[in-house]
Chains A and B, each alone.
Chain A
Amino acid sequence: MKVALFIPCYVDQFYPNVGINTLQLLEKLGVEVAYPLQQTCCGQPMANSGCEQDSKDVYHHFVDTFADYEYIVTPSGSCTYHVRKHYDIIDQTPAVQQVRKGVYELVDFLENVLKVEEIPVHFPHKVGLHLSCHGQRGLRQANASEITGDKGGQILTLLKKLKGIEITHLERNDECCGFGGSFCITEEAVSARMGQDRIADHVRHGTKVLTGGDMSCLMHLEGIVKRQQVPIKVMHIAEILNGSQP
């Protein structure tokens, strides 16, 4: 199994620990992971802003970087969704098709490719899970409340395997955090308000550690946590699954 690691641009720059934990976790599970050094970004920031034509060079660069791998694993549902869903505007060469098929969000890869059953981690904390919309509704990694009252999902399944963990029951289990890429700047007022409301829900229900599959949502939520000086520690799911403690 030839596996490459893709660390999204903003994770690379601002959250190297998330990358390190992802790599270590995969290695612990016996996966030999390559990290191609020429990698940059999936191209989503421009595309979501309406500039997907400008993104084409970035798409080609991504494909060139990862075409030789069977799986491209990344700690981001959002980037995975972008490659799978929106790389349809470039020629669908075998390399492009392979990359779109091979890209996997980390937890999806753990559960559905590696078939991980046990996570030997003791995590005695009250954990609030933030579902990223691209992971949940984009990749269908978790049920959506618009469709069913069953709140099951991939990340929740893994979290429940941790010893000592308590999961927060939220009033709104899958409301968007308001990050939304450039939305967080262009629609600052609504974006911030959405994030504040998510944090308030977690605070009301006792979350001590806030986690999720997308660092972009978490970066935005952490920004609010720090500004409001709320006693919540924000951790990416890769950090928790790799045994990091708050």
Chain B
Amino acid sequence: MNHPALAEKFARDFSRTTWHDETLWFVRQKRDKAIYPIPEFQELRLLASKIKDHTLSNLDNYLLQFEENARKNGVQVHWATDGEEHNQIVLDIIRNASSIKDKTGTIKMVKSKSMLTEECHLNPFLQKNGVEVVDTDLGERIVQFRNEPPSHIVMPAIHLKKEDVGETFHEHLGTPKGEKDPQALTEAARQHLRQKFIEADVALTGVNFAVAETGSFVVCTNEGNADLGVNLANVHIACMGMEKLIPKIEHLSVFIRLLARSATGQPVTTYTSHFTKPAEGKEMHIVIVDNGRTQQLGRSDFRNSLKCIRCGACMNTCPVYRRSGGHSYDFTVPGPIGAILSPNIDLHKYSSLPFASTLCGSCSDVCPVKIDIHVQLYKWRQVVSKENELPASKKWGMKGLAKMLAMPKVYDLGGKLARSALRVLPHGMTHAKGLNPWAIARELPDAPKQSFKEWYSKNKKS
């Protein structure tokens, strides 16, 4: 299904849509409160944008520098062209790890949040190969129980109410039926996850920032689940998109100041963990993934979408996202940023996403790294049209309209006829819901007898 169809389905539940909109708007307001008092916030955005621009235009060098320094630290670095290769690499690391290879029982993995592994569909792949995978971020665990994808990149279960979570936990964790107290539900998840942490053979994390000059990387969480997993398991695998680099450790503070404020309105995430080398007797691996990023880097109009630090602010602010839900995008990264990343992956499948926007520009103004998201949405629309992926009715309708608007006499006559028709035809016909989507919730404007031009010609023309 395309975005309008999925959005319509979501918006049909009026009160739930209200709740979803207000919940995310609350996060947007928290963000506003966190950034207004910082006089240099706009300067920070500009600085972050420039650091990322610089990094992207020298990405080849910084990637090699990062690899070299990580190896010096005793970290094993792997390169994956696409999701499939990434998944195979992860499986091979697990199977070959000295602490795991002789294990007879089920291999157990705990994961902290990683949108990249969602993008690569790692979980089903590992499960198919006999690995138990447990997402340890609370929101991710909830959607994992429900066999759903995350609906938001920072708050994966934001589409669910506490009652929904209560039901899910009743089914999977045996909490009392009807339990909806957040404290009690969180405690149940905590007890459940503790056991999983203790049993884990391998911990997988994402990467928020990778620093080229040190070969180290940073993982930001609020729950401390990345740290708990990594410190208990013998093997740590960190998966990163190749755009996660920053050149120097001194650049990190710029991004750390922006990330949590933009994401949730917190000054900083509860945990900002730096990983440099494996502990004595343990293994640390980094998998660097392309999966379409090089292709996007090659698109001059769209390359700066790779500046994204995955804060989710564009989702929280987007009036369309708030009223259509993350699942309506049907892509790993939903919302405005997803709508400019997804056509790079599959233009045909995601051709409706660049149109899932009014081009209001709020996303670009809220973006901590100043990605011109709404400009890119406009440009993707042109690509969708050029690649012949527009619906035929739109394509030919627009061609006809363009012809008419280039010929003043045809335009004048067309307008006059249309207005006459609107005046003459019965309301039931002009407002027939099956024929005129405008009229499902709106009245048409009154059609005046005279256009402005006709009035002017009669009254003002000298």
Docked-complex contact A46 and B402, CB < 8 angstroms: yes
Q: Is the interface of B mostly helix, strand, loop or mixed?
A: helix
Docked-complex contact B411 and A41, CB < 8 angstroms: yes
List 30 A–B pairs whose Cβ atoms lie within 8 Å, in order of A's numbering: A9-B405, A11-B452, A13-B447, A15-B448, A16-B452, A19-B456, A46-B401, A46-B402, A51-B390, A51-B402, A52-B382, A60-B406, A133-B361, A144-B365, A147-B365, A172-B25, A175-B319, A180-B357, A185-B437, A185-B438, A189-B7, A190-B7, A192-B440, A192-B442, A193-B17, A194-B320, A195-B442, A196-B441, A197-B21, A223-B441
Q: Which residue of A lies closest to B389 (CB)?
A: A50
In angstroms, Cα B437 to Cα A40, docked, is 25
**Interface range for A:** 35 or more
Instruction: Determine the chain B residues whose CB is within 8 A of the CB of A54 once the complex forms.
Output: 398-399, 402
The segment from A31-39, A92-100, A154-162 that touches chain B is A31-39
Instruction: Determine the chain B residues whose CB is within 8 A of the CB of A175 once the complex forms.
Output: 319
Docked-complex contact A188 and B365, CB < 8 angstroms: no
Would you list which residues of chain B between 47 and 61 have a CB under 8 Å from chain A? none
Q: A12-B415, A194-B323 are in contact. Are A50 and B357 (CB under 8 A)?
A: no
Docked-complex contact A188 and B362, CB < 8 angstroms: no
Q: Which residue of A lies closest to B399 (CB)?
A: A54
- B418 CB within 8 Å of chain A: yes
- B200 CB within 8 Å of chain A: no
Docked-complex contact B365 and A146, CB < 8 angstroms: yes
- B324 CB within 8 Å of chain A: yes
Partner of B442, one of A18, A52, A60, A223: A223
Instruction: Determine the chain A residues whose CB is within 8 A of the CB of B401 once the complex forms.
Output: 45-46
Closest beta carbon of chain A to B371's beta carbon, Å = 13
Q: Which of B17, B42, B398 has the most CB of A within 10 A?
A: B398
- B378 CB within 8 Å of chain A: yes
Docked-complex contact A40 and B405, CB < 8 angstroms: yes
Q: A15-B445, A176-B358, A193-B17 are in contact. Are A53 and B386 (CB under 8 A)?
A: yes
Q: Which residue of B lies closest to A43 (CB)?
A: B405
Docked-complex contact B390 and A39, CB < 8 angstroms: no
In angstroms, Cα B8 to Cα A182, docked, is 16
Partner of A14, one of B354, B403, B441, B445: B445
Q: A40-B411, A172-B25 are in contact. Are A7 and B323 (CB under 8 A)?
A: no
Q: A41-B405, A186-B355, A193-B17 are in contact. Are A51 and B398 (CB under 8 A)?
A: yes
Closest beta carbon of chain B to A145's beta carbon, Å = 6
Docked-complex contact B440 and A183, CB < 8 angstroms: no
Q: Is the interface of A mostly helix, strand, loop or mixed?
A: helix
Instruction: Determine the chain A residues whose CB is within 8 A of the CB of B411 once the complex forms.
Output: 9, 40-41
In angstroms, Cα B25 to Cα A187, docked, is 21
Docked-complex contact A49 and B456, CB < 8 angstroms: no
Instruction: Determine the chain A residues whose CB is within 8 A of the CB of B7 once the complex forms.
Output: 187, 189-190
Docked-complex contact A61 and B11, CB < 8 angstroms: no
Q: Which residue of A lies closest to B32 (CB)?
A: A145
Would you list which residues of chain B between 415 and 457 have a CB under 8 Å from chain A? 415, 418-419, 437-438, 440-448, 450-457
Q: Which of B354, B382, B406, B419 has the most CB of A within 10 A?
A: B406
Closest beta carbon of chain A to B364's beta carbon, Å = 8
Docked-complex contact B408 and A37, CB < 8 angstroms: yes
Docked-complex contact B406 and A38, CB < 8 angstroms: no
- A122 CB within 8 Å of chain B: no
Closest beta carbon of chain A to B435's beta carbon, Å = 11
In angstroms, Cα B408 to Cα A188, docked, is 30
Instruction: Determine the chain B residues whose CB is within 8 A of the CB of A61 once the complex forms.
Output: 405-406, 408
In the A-B complex, list the 9 residue pairs whose CB atoms are closest, starting with the nearest: A223-B442, A180-B358, A19-B452, A50-B385, A192-B441, A50-B381, A146-B365, A176-B360, A137-B361
Instruction: Determine the chain A residues whose CB is within 8 A of the CB of B443 once the complex forms.
Output: 222-223, 226-227
Instruction: Determine the chain B residues whose CB is within 8 A of the CB of A37 once the complex forms.
Output: 408, 453, 456-457, 461
In angstroms, Cα B441 to Cα A45, docked, is 21
Docked-complex contact B445 and A188, CB < 8 angstroms: no
Would you list which residues of chain B between 144 and 199 have a CB under 8 Å from chain A? none
Docked-complex contact A133 and B360, CB < 8 angstroms: yes
Q: Which residue of B lies closest to A132 (CB)?
A: B360
Closest beta carbon of chain A to B267's beta carbon, Å = 18
Closest beta carbon of chain A to B45's beta carbon, Å = 9
Closest beta carbon of chain B to A94's beta carbon, Å = 22
Q: Which residue of B lies closest to A215 (CB)?
A: B445
C-beta contact mask, B380-401 vs A, less than 8 Å → 1, else 0? Answer: 0110111000100011001101
- B337 CB within 8 Å of chain A: no
